[in-house]
Amino acid sequence: MSVKLTDDVGAALVAAIVARSPYRRALTPMIGEITRIALANNQIRAALADVAIRSNFEATRTLGRRDLGPQRATLMSFLEYVYFASPAFLASVGEGPKEGSHNGH
């Protein structure tokens, strides 16, 4: 079941889920960007809406351990993907942003 998720509830929910991610230290500084991308993605937005209903998040603004339910794998995969595609991770392998170019010379 999916319902309309308001942007402010969505943002608070993304922040709560990021706080449960093993990559939270790297992801937290990017929370605004992650929220925008998450809410623009069809699958992630729907998953967030399901979690919001299950946890009554709009009223409680708290997220229990079991509230992610079957959407846990999708949401955690999304955050993991963001970590490994982030500028900080890419810089750690020597691939920092260079105006879209990947010429090593």
Interface positions with other proteins (CB under 8 A): 22-23, 33, 37, 40-43, 73-74, 77-78, 80-82, 84-86, 89-90, 92-95, 97, 99-105
Of the pair 32, 62, the CB lying nearest other proteins is at: 32
Of the pair 1, 42, the CB lying nearest other proteins is at: 42
Of the pair 1, 40, the CB lying nearest other proteins is at: 40
* C-alpha separations of 94 from 1, 23, 85, 88, 103 in Å: 43, 20, 13, 10, 12
The tokens of 76 are what? 């955690």
